[in-house]
Structure 1
Amino acid sequence: MRPVIIDGARIFDGTSTTGPGRVEFADGVITRVVTHPTPGAPAPAGAIDGTGMTLLPGLIDAHTHVFGAESNLELALAFGVTTELDMFMGPPEETRALCELAAGRPDLADLRSAGLLASAPEGHPAVTMPGLPTVAGPGDADAFVADRQAEGAHFIKIMVDDGVNHGMSLPALDRATVTALADAARRRGLLSVAHVSAMWSARLALDSGVDVLTHLPLEAVVDEEFVRRAAEDGRVVIPTLAILELSAVRTGPGVNVARSLAEDPRIAGHLPPDAHAAITEGGEGLCVEHPSPEHRFGHALSSVARLHRAGVPVLAGTDANHRPGRACPVVHGASLHAELTLLVEAGLTPEQALAAATSAPAAYFGLTDRGVIAPGRRADLLLVAGDPTKDITATRAIEGIWRGGVRFDREAYRKRTAS
């Protein structure tokens, strides 16, 4: 196959940015990266002119819920998200089938999934999902993890939630059980990811040795002791700011970033009608159903700032859980661009935010073939107008998307989903 050449674009390679350069790829793999081309040398024949643009690795959303909907993976790819990490999906045979389908379909975002999550009997969400396997105590942990691994789970999701944010008071997994789950996952070579719903659950997950915490408390800022321990213990955080912003009181100046996506022509023009309506009016699937004054988005922003300053890795994940018929305002693909904006608002530099959506999730979730622009890596690439290392919203000005070296036809997608 004749190689594809993108010439003249600045290159963000997953960690740092170089001036105008050249990237070549063939058969789905990056073959050459030239970061300092000879001044005045003509572009190779047939090269894509990237002058004034930036080439990035394909984006990775580190926290989504696909719900088995192939359309969600297509929507994700339409906004440059080439890989999604799904945090709960079932039944297992359908999850495995969708992962296998996505692996071979360059018109869909690639997919990794936790499969079925661990929760307490009669807890959240088991109380509303009869048949969902639960973990009654530490003695059940190893069998639960073994079953998920046999079903093809790529990591283990643990629900540390008492349902209070959803108007319920339910049993929750205790520290001994969460510790046993994290230990069982570690023995089997799997990452453990804990859903935390409040300060008590964040502390419990930290005490239990879980590898990754997803979400952050909204009722308070994590304290310095929590931050110190998270840094010393090598924990990773996926704050999911896009959904927390919609689940809490936002004070002070500024617009709601997640809702404002529907007003940005760089985004709105490629949203299917159901996704556009969900962003503007939807209210399903949020972390807190009826936020109180203590649930402040500023708490989450301040927590991210503290964790980041202490060196705790922060990954970009949205908790996207929209699907046709479920009007969650955090939609696949588009919402990751809001997440990037919010990470910068929390204190990350634009380059650090871009790394949080590319090289960092690839590294921590073992996706060693992607997340950076380098020879031998997958040609999952995103070409955007402007410079997102200076203005993070430039990631929304998409000029080209390649998944496994195959260009996604964004205009055809727009026309097909417009009605």
Structure 2
Amino acid sequence: MLTKITNVRVFDGERVVPSTTVIFDHPYIISIGENDDVPDGGQVIDGSGMTLLPGLIDSHVHTKIENLQLALQFGITTELEMMGHWTPEQRREIEERNDVADLRTAEFGLTAPGGHPSELHSKVGPPPGKPRGPPPSAGPGHKHPPARFVAPTASTPQEAVQFVKDRVADGADYIKIMIEEGSVLESPGLPLLPKETLAGAVTEAHRNGKLVVAHVLTADATLQAIEVGADGLAHLFLDQPHTTTVVESIASAGAFVTPCLVLNSSIMGKAPTAFASDERVRAKLSPPWIKTLNSSFNTFPEGKFQDCLDTVLALHKAGVDILAGTDVSVPVPELGGLAHGASVHHELQLLVEAGLSATEALRAATSVPARRFGLNDRGKVGKGLLADLVLVDGDPTTTITDSLNVRGVWRRGVKLEV
């Protein structure tokens, strides 16, 4: 339905427009700042006292259809998955629906045999009916995993190159590499891929025009990811305070960072009970998700969360692009402190706590990830862009918690009915 929102404050992904008119229809924004009459059948919304935002982007998830539905209720119109398997049929289903968030995916992440995230199976178990043994090597000629959710691995540069080729053939939007030895996840000694193997994967990914995003949770892993040429870091290291060397290495490489502060807080045993008790959050979550959000990983309680906040601010001041992400996956308390959709708003609050302005935090969930991941049709409110929009009461550009005051969500111009 053609929709006209008048007298509304707009955060366009970069700046604030105090009061204007936005007209949109399925699937695009038609005009901004014009006062043309809406044709018969159109809807007019008085946006006085409200703010219109671009649809929010969660730059680190592990998801499925029902979670894409949940995310959309919180105004997250795109989820960027960093490990998971989707069939072509499932991808087409998502493209054809307006009641779920859009999806981009790395498909499987590159890891060593027995490497991360295989250790998490002890917490959530392997998929029903799937083998419990180590996954097979990708190997030359390997094109498809032998069973859904059983991730292929690699051991040599040649296998890593083939792994990337297979992901590209399977429709991966970007490539994920794992550098995780397990010390902050209560799994020290996890197998790691040699630098030359990681570098081979990065080179092949870039040859195919794909970004490379690295899983890193320690400072050493961070430096290694930068050394092999990763374009972005899917996490913020949490094992030590930042140093000038690490910050300058990331900044000079032009890499982005998705801190996933909500995850780091959870790993340090801090369950977000105050956030979970907010009725704007609870009202949209099922009991399993409420229980999960009130829990935590708690695998590195000796960590200092203030160090993480300080690191984010140092990176931001150094000019590093910061992206809002959560690493949310399934409603299991052992992987707790997170919930699809809701945790993006918590991440925005933590980015502000770290020292970003509310507007800078909102950019981290809109225009910045859109730019870094080449999503040129979203992340902003602009004529001709997708009408992925969120209308909220109040002004989250000054009071970030107002982002939870969701009054309306539109995916490609179609309003979500809940």
With normalisation by structure 2, the TM-score equals 0.88
Aligned residues: 388
2:299 aligned with 1:290: yes
2:295 aligned with 1:267: no
Cα distance in 1 for partners of 2:375, 2:304 equals 34
Cα distance in 2 for partners of 1:159, 1:278 equals 25
The Cα of 1:270 is off from its aligned counterpart by: 1.5
Cα distance in 2 for partners of 1:113, 1:97 equals 14
**Equivalent of residue 175 in structure 1, options 181, 189, 195:** 195
Which moves more between the two structures, 344-353 or 162-171? 162-171
After superposition, where does 1:45-64 map in structure 2 within 5 Å? 46-64=43-61
Which moves more between the two structures, 227-236 or 365-374? 227-236
2:187 aligned with 1:141: no
Partner of 1:371: 379
Q: Describe the superposition over 1:16-49 as per-residue Cα deviations: whole angstroms up to 9, x where unpaired.
A: 00111110012210010008x79xx99x984101
Q: Describe the superposition over 1:323-360 as per-residue Cα deviations: whole angstroms up to 9, x where unpaired.
A: 47986331100000000000111111100100100111
2:170 aligned with 1:151: yes
Cα distance in 1 for partners of 2:334, 2:243 equals 36
Of all paired residues, the percent bearing the same amino acid is 39
Helix, strand or coil: the match of 2:229? Answer: coil
Partner of 2:225: 205
Cα distance in 2 for partners of 1:259, 1:150 equals 43
Helix, strand or coil: the match of 1:47? Answer: strand
After superposition, where does 1:349-388 map in structure 2 within 5 Å? 349-388=357-396
Partner of 1:413: none
Partner of 2:405: 397
Partner of 1:75: 70
Cα distance in 1 for partners of 2:154, 2:273 equals 37
Q: Describe the superposition over 1:37-67 as per-residue Cα deviations: whole angstroms up to 9, x where unpaired.
A: 79xx99x98410110000000000000011x
State the one-letter code of the partner of 1:52: G
Indicate if the aligned counterparts of 2:114 and 2:135 stay in contact, CA closer than 8 A.
no
Cα distance in 2 for partners of 1:274, 1:292 equals 24
The Cα of 1:365 is off from its aligned counterpart by: 0.6
Cα distance in 2 for partners of 1:139, 1:387 equals 52
Helix, strand or coil: the match of 2:288? Answer: helix
2:32 aligned with 1:33: yes
Cα distance in 1 for partners of 2:369, 2:356 equals 16
Cα distance in 2 for partners of 1:325, 1:292 equals 16
Indicate if the aligned counterparts of 1:75 and 1:333 stay in contact, CA closer than 8 A.
yes
Cα distance in 2 for partners of 1:180, 1:298 equals 36
The Cα of 1:259 is off from its aligned counterpart by: 3.1
Change (3 A) 1:205 1:338: same
Helix, strand or coil: the match of 1:54? Answer: strand
2:135 aligned with 1:130: yes
Indicate if the aligned counterparts of 2:328 and 2:338 stay in contact, CA closer than 8 A.
yes
The Cα of 1:15 is off from its aligned counterpart by: 0.5
Partner of 1:416: none
Cα distance in 1 for partners of 2:290, 2:162 equals 42
Which moves more between the two structures, 216-225 or 196-205? 216-225
With normalisation by structure 1, the TM-score equals 0.88
CA RMSD of aligned residues (A): 2.1
Change (3 A) 1:102 1:326: farther
Q: Name structure 2 gaps, 5 residues minimum.
A: 122-133, 137-150
Q: Name structure 1 gaps, 5 residues minimum.
A: 251-255, 411-419
